[in-house]
Amino acid sequence: MVSGFENTDGPMDLNALREFCAVVSEGSFVAAARKLDTPKSTVSKRVQDLETALGVQLIERTTRRLSLTAEGALVLSKAERILSDADELRLSLKEPDERVNGHLRVAAPSLFGQCYLGRIAARSRQSYPDLTLEFVLTDSQPDLVEEGFDAAIRASTPFDSPLVSKPFAISRRIAVAAPTLMNEPLHHPQDLTDYPALLDGVGLIQTWYFTDGEQETSARVAGGLAVTSLPVLRDAARDGCGVALLPESMVQDDLTCGRLIDAVPGWTSLPTVFSLIYPSPQALTSRLRAFLDLLSSEFLEREPG
């Protein structure tokens, strides 16, 4: 048995890393060899060579099962990142005129889909006419492989998730109102309690949380409209029905032309990170890479807070 990091100066074999990850994910050398279409003896030898090169034992082997050592768990987490970066590099070096085509099936939260996916689909059609998109709006977290999704958009990722997560936007919400409702901006979020609130979700009383970058505060707000549709809330705010807490990127045009005002300048909601989730580094196809680029450019151009 080898132990401790002793012989780590040799070159790293990406194929060995990939086969090690496959053994862990598939649960056996036989299953990994089948998935990789590689002889079992080759997979076994490469993993052994990787252990020798690193000077550690990565996998405990018994007649009944395989289990990761502590060093193996550390190498696994690093290897997945290395392989993901290598796959992205390979894709980026492909011929620039290679056509992005095929079909993508993507799950997304309902509100995100209502606000952004129509515009993203239009940009995709313009940039990649041979790429077809299928969006499934759901507020659950589907099993990507079992349910046939190429990827999913999520506002958060479980800490221990085995999925690959690529952040593409940080979104903040701001409180907005029509000039007919509010003559001038407020000084503090707690002043919002004096105005009717337009509420996202269920319930006519909610707590909104804010930060100015240095401190955090909250406001307990109440109103006569609660709905699970951000576009409906935006329309109601435009009509002067109340104050709505909406994504800054969604109301940017309204703020510019004066249809809405920032009700509490300098204060935003706590940030939400949006990520594209997919099953493994190998799942990052050229069409999925193109879709991720579309997402990133859409939010970069609109400069969400």
Contact predicate 292/203, CB 8 Å: no
173-269 has which CATH code?
3.40.190.290
Alpha-carbon distance of 276 to 304, in angstroms, equals 17
Evaluate whether 14-92 and 173-269 have a shared fold. Answer: no
Which residues, other chains included, contact 284 with Cβ-Cβ below 8 Å and sequence gap of 6+?
A: 84, 87, 88, 91, 164, 278
Per-position b or e across 236-259, b if 16+ CB within 10 A of its CB: bbbeebbbbbbbbbbbeebeeeeb
The pLDDT score that the predictor gives to residue 302 is: 54
The pLDDT score that the predictor gives to residue 74 is: 86
Contact predicate 50/16, CB 8 Å: yes
Which DSSP helix (H) or strand (E) runs through 57?
A: none
Domain ranges of the chain: 14-92, 102-170+272-302, 173-269
Q: Which fold has domain 102-170+272-302?
A: D-Maltodextrin-Binding Protein; domain 2 (3.40.190)
pLDDT digits (tens, 9 = 90+) for 207-245: 999 999 889 999 999 998 999 888 899 999 999 999 999
DSSP helix/strand/coil, 173: strand
Q: Select 14-92's CATH number: 1.10.10.10, 3.40.50.300, 3.40.50.1970, 3.90.1580.10.
A: 1.10.10.10
More confident of the two residues 221 and 19: 221
Side chain identity at 217, as an amino acid letter? T
Average pLDDT in the 136-152 region? 90
pLDDT digits (tens, 9 = 90+) for 145-201: 889 999 999 986 554 567 888 888 888 899 999 999 998 999 999 999 999 999 988
Indicate if the pLDDT at residue 97 is higher than 50: no
pLDDT digits (tens, 9 = 90+) for 36-90: 888 888 888 989 988 888 888 988 876 667 778 888 888 888 887 788 777 767 6
